[in-house]
């Protein structure tokens, strides 16, 4: 599958590397220093390249949308229309204030995903990967599926959700269906399905306990 990555920081670069190693073709994009993206692709060594957000969008069967939330509009402006594409939104709607506090950028009643869906008419939006540091998937990948870190997935498009469930598995996780896009706020910080505790796979069991009650 061709995966265009818009936002190639901690989230985008880690997932891109994991998917390239699983046999997908990835294109990294969106940086102030585009040459760094080609260095990243070269370090992975195979199945990876870099380009502009527009070329990544054009290349993609699936777009991984992973910019900082305050750059969402800028990233979309550079990518152009994503109508018809499956778009995985990883964002958390926060920015940092001076002094290190984090500040929510949107109303409590909505989610980053619902705002991004409105900014991307016709895109098949899937919320995933926003609830933990994807670096934890490197360890999870070594475990059998049932013991892996849960990757919560929420979308109104069931076919798109099935594609992302396979990608979640390919990246080292265990897909966990969290229902419609309306539930995205559960996995955006500080939702019940989000966690900063990613050092152990215990988080997967904590998530299951919170959602399913066991």
Ligand X SMILES: NC(=O)c1ccc[n+]([C@@H]2O[C@H](COP(=O)([O-])OP(=O)(O)OC[C@H]3O[C@@H](n4cnc5c(N)ncnc54)[C@H](OP(=O)(O)O)[C@@H]3O)[C@@H](O)[C@H]2O)c1
Classify residue 104 as left (phi > 0), alpha (psi -120 to 50) or beta.
beta
Confirm or reject binding of residue 69 to ligand X (CB under 6 A).
yes
Confirm or reject binding of residue 133 to ligand X (CB under 6 A).
yes
Nearer to ligand X, 135 or 158 (CB): 135
Nearer to ligand X, 14 or 165 (CB): 14
Confirm or reject binding of residue 92 to ligand X (CB under 6 A).
yes
| Binding range to ligand X, per CB under 6 A, among 86-94, 97-105, 119-127, 168-176 | 86-94
Contacting ligand X (CB under 6 A), which of 4, 51, 67, 191?
67
Which tokens go with 9?
Answer: 């920081």
CB contact at 8 A, 115 and 184:
no
CB contact at 8 A, 151 and 31:
no
Confirm or reject binding of residue 32 to ligand X (CB under 6 A).
yes
Alpha helices in the chain (DSSP H): 10-21, 34-44, 53-59, 72-79, 112-119, 137-140, 158-170, 202-212
Contact residues toward ligand X (CB under 6 A) are 7-12, 30-33, 36, 66-69, 71, 90-92, 129-130, 133
């Amino acid at each position: 599958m061709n995966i265009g990555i818009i936002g190639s920081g901690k989230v985008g670069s880690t997932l891109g590397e994991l998917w390239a190693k699983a046999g997908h073709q990835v294109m990294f994009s969106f940086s102030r220093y585009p040459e760094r993206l080609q260095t990243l692709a070269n370090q992975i060594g195979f199945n990876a390249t870099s380009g502009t957000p527009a070329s990544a969008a054009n290349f993609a069967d699936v777009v991984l949308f992973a910019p900082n939330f305050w750059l969402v509009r800028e990233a979309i402006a550079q990518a152009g229309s994503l109508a018809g594409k499956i778009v995985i939104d990883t964002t958390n709607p926060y920015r940092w204030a001076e002094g290190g506090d984090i500040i929510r950028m949107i109303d409590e009643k909505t989610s980053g995903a619902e705002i991004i869906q409105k900014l991307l008419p016709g895109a098949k939006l899937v919320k995933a990967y926003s609830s933990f540091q994807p670096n934890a998937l490197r360890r999870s990948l070594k475990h059998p599926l049932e013991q892996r870190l849960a990757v919560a997935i929420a979308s109104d498009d069931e076919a798109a959700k099935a594609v992302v469930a396979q990608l979640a598995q390919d990246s080292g996780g265990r897909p966990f269906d969290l229902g419609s896009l309306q539930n995205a706020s559960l996995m955006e910080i500080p939702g019940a399905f989000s966690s900063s505790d990613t050092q152990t796979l215990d988080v997967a069991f904590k998530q299951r306990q919170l959602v399913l009650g066991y």
